[in-house]
Amino acid sequence: MNDPVRVEAYSPRPRPEEAAAPAQAVEPVAPPQRGYAWLVWRLNRLRAMSAPEIAYRVRNVAVQWAERTVVLRADVPAPDMSASASAWVNAGAAGDAAGCIAAAERVLSGRLSLFALQDVDIGVPPRWNRDPLTGIEAPMRYGRSIDYRRPEAVGDIKYIWELNRHLQLVPLAQAYALTKDARYLEGLRVQLESWLEQCPRGMGVNWSSSLELGIRLINWSIVWQLIGGKTSPLFAEPCGRQLLQRWLASIYAHAHGIRHHLSRYSSANNHLIGEAAGLYLATLTWPYWSIFERWRGVARTVLEQECARQTYADGVNKEQASAYQQFVLEFFLVTGFAARAAGEPFSDGYWRRIEDMLEYLATLTDSVGNRPMIGDGDDGIVAGLWDDRAGDQGDWLLAAGACLFERPDWLHKARGVPEKARWLLPAERLERGLALLPRPAPPRRQVFPHGGYYLLGSELETAREIRALVDAGPLGYLSIAAHGHADALAFTLNIGGEEFLIDPGTYAYHRDRVWREYFRSTAAHNTLRIDGREQSVSGGNFMWRSKASARCEHWQSDEQRDEFVGSHDGYLSLSDPVLHRRRLQLDKPQRRLRVEDSLECRGEHQVEWFWHFAEHCRLRWDNGAILVEGERNSLRLRLPKLDAARVRIVRGAEQPPCGWVSRRFDVKHPTSTVVLEGRIRGQARVVTEIQC
């Protein structure tokens, strides 16, 4: 290389003050005012809609008008309490009662963790329409008329919605089921009465999203079962009977709101699945209105259809996001368990697709449980049952799958049966799973051609394993590809159960456009950028105007070598079009990964390569290569020689953003990113070698 390595905002080891400091959350920023940017977003969103979708949304405006003027003023039909329902929560399977009770005690004291706010006092009862991060109180008007994308009006809507999913109510119900201590029922009474008072039917931001209604119904259903249903002591006194009446009226309104506002067309992603799951479980749990039987049929049909429609035949969720793979799996599993308990099981095809989804999730998981953060992720949880693996939904999902499908290799991946799985698995399936002997086994599949993921691996499921997962899949799902990232031909690399090359995650959704765009950009992934252009062009926080199309051209795997060749067309729109083709070769005996990037063009271009390392890695220049030391393993990154090249190791840069990782939503840490810049002229073949 012509220029020496240059370090920007980087230190080989975390500085003492940095190591002691908490992870950074974005400070509230001055929100953009409505104007040109808002108009551009509206136009981009309109372009993503078909003519039938536009007609559908116009009809929805009429429905919303009718709700405001008629439905919200109408009385809720009286429930027929003679109907009975089947319980589907396994209340007698707790393995760690003490942990569950401790979680309930925190809720009683008013302490909660929400994204960047860890163990904060939200009050007893909380102010349900107030954003606990910014302090902004959302307006109290018809919920579906509120633009929750405007932080100046509602604050950070993610914080409000997370609080109002009522995940935190479930540990109170669990603790009561375990101890019969009336304090936990009283805690539930305070939470529910305050919510019903502050969030009247249809009013406020907590009624603005059908998905949020669905998740709240699921957690209410779990609470209802664990406290004893309609015969619970919570409803014994006159004030309790009044609470029961008010709660049932709200439950009906939730179900009505979902049924008449299902997400359709370009919005029919995980939202539609969650809405249908909430509606289905509500109609099973509270079968007190005759219309609920019809609505349950609608919800069941949607779940069957969307399980197949939103999942490729190889088990990859079409949103191309590993967190949403887990999110929708939880919806499917919970509703599947409930349907079986009610004697109306879903089809064999439904369960086969769940098995395929779990197979892909297992393949994503390395020998110690790490999973790459592909695409968007917002720490979404469906059921708030206390879990000893808090923050890691993949473990309980794999454990549940192991018990259902008798897969000891998945049980090994899950490192046993987490607490959450014990409460949700049917008793006989849990017993069968606990009798399995967990054992490691290489992935049954390394290739997921429909989803576009390919695993190059050596000595898999051992302490010496090498895992390189490359992305040659679509950008995302439907016309807006809402949760996809510009990561065509990017890859992650783990060695011996330790992360080295990573996908840095998501960090932000609504509140900060700069950071939202960075974490989903080409520059935030282990791939290359040409002339400062993105592979895919964003049209808004959850929308893409143009989408790179990637494909696998060749795959080969044997005992000596794994090889992948793929290409994408994201740079063919340049005035001098460039086709990017990438070849990855893993020499297993030599433990060497060779990355060959071929650029097919005629003219001259500026090219940047990005290599994002896990935050624990220590980097230093060593004899013409970059030595990367982890906690137990190391690698050598040997960069290619280019004209007018320079190398930077960037850590925690903000303008422009570079050198960050986000392990939790709204939380980021500095990490080390190697950036190689250089120029090419005409056809070029550039080779990077990684010695593992």
- How far is residue 411's CA from residue 417's CA, in Å, rounded to a whole number? 7
Average pLDDT over residues 61-85: 81
Contacts from 438-446 at CB under 8 Å and sequence distance 24+? 438/402, 438/408, 438/411, 438/412, 438/414, 439/408, 439/409, 439/412, 440/367, 440/409, 440/412, 441/408, 441/409, 441/412, 443/362, 443/363, 444/359, 445/314, 445/359, 445/360, 445/363, 446/363, 446/557, 446/562
Q: What is the token pair recorded at 320?
A: 């191309």
- How far is residue 193's CA from residue 174's CA, in Å, rounded to a whole number? 19
Is pLDDT of 52 > 90? Answer: no
Q: Amino acid identity, residue 66?
A: A
Query: Nearest Cα to 356, choosing from 391, 396, 318?
Result: 318
- How far is residue 241's CA from residue 228's CA, in Å, rounded to a whole number? 14
pLDDT in tens, 618-636: 999 998 899 999 999 999 9
Higher pLDDT among residues 390 and 159, named by residue: 159
Categorize the per-residue pLDDT at 474 as very low, low, confident or very high, splitting at 50, 70 and 90.
Answer: very high
Average pLDDT over residues 359-372: 97
C-alpha torsion angle, residues 527, 531, 533, 536 (rounded to 10): -50
Is pLDDT of 67 > 80? Answer: no
The C-alpha angle 518, 314, 328, rounded to 5 degrees, equals 60
Average pLDDT over residues 190-197: 98
Is pLDDT of 95 > 60? Answer: yes
- 3-state secondary structure at position 296: helix
For the chain, the average pLDDT equals 92
- Tell me the residue ranges of DSSP E strands in 281-356: none
- Tell me the residue ranges of DSSP E strands in 72-116: 111-114
- Is residue 200 reached through a cis peptide bond, with omega within 30 degrees of 0 on the bond before it? no
pLDDT of residue 5: 42
Average pLDDT over residues 32-57: 68
pLDDT of residue 71: 64
- 3-state secondary structure at position 582: strand
Average pLDDT over residues 351-365: 98
Categorize the per-residue pLDDT at 36 as very low, low, confident or very high, splitting at 50, 70 and 90.
Answer: low
Categorize the per-residue pLDDT at 490 as very low, low, confident or very high, splitting at 50, 70 and 90.
Answer: very high
pLDDT of residue 47: 73
**How far is residue 170 from each of residues 75, 184, 226, 387, 635, measured CA to CA in Å?**
29, 10, 9, 11, 45
Average pLDDT over residues 491-497: 98
Categorize the per-residue pLDDT at 75 as very low, low, confident or very high, splitting at 50, 70 and 90.
Answer: confident
pLDDT in tens, 563-615: 999 999 999 999 999 999 999 999 999 999 999 999 999 999 999 999 999 99
Higher pLDDT among residues 29 and 519, named by residue: 519
pLDDT of residue 627: 98
CATH architecture for residues 6-30+446-691: Distorted Sandwich (2.70)
Is pLDDT of 545 > 80? Answer: yes
| Burial of 30 per CB tally in 10 Å (0-12, 13-18, 19+) | exposed
pLDDT of residue 265: 85
pLDDT of residue 319: 98
Q: What is the token pair recorded at 652?
A: 């925690």
Is pLDDT of 216 > 60? Answer: yes
Give the residue carrying structure tokens 């390394």: 446
Q: Amino acid identity, residue 658?
A: C
For the chain, residues classed under CATH 2.70.98.70 are 6-30+446-691
Burial 269-304 (b: 16+ CB within 10 A, else e): bbbbbbbbbbbbbbbbbbbbbeebeebbebbbebbb
pLDDT in tens, 116-155: 999 999 999 999 999 999 999 999 999 999 999 999 999 9
Categorize the per-residue pLDDT at 392 as very low, low, confident or very high, splitting at 50, 70 and 90.
Answer: confident
DSSP state letters, 447-498: EETTTTEEEEEESTTSTT-EEEEEE-S-S-STTTTTT--S-TT-EEEEETTE
Lowest mean pLDDT among 79-88, 189-198, 282-291, 341-350: 79-88
The C-alpha angle 146, 666, 529, rounded to 5 degrees, equals 105
Higher pLDDT among residues 11 and 55, named by residue: 55
pLDDT of residue 50: 82
Number of neighbouring beta carbons within 10 Å of residue 147: 12
- How far is residue 572's CA from residue 539's CA, in Å, rounded to a whole number? 19
Is pLDDT of 661 > 50? Answer: yes
- How far is residue 490's CA from residue 492's CA, in Å, rounded to a whole number? 7
pLDDT of residue 16: 28
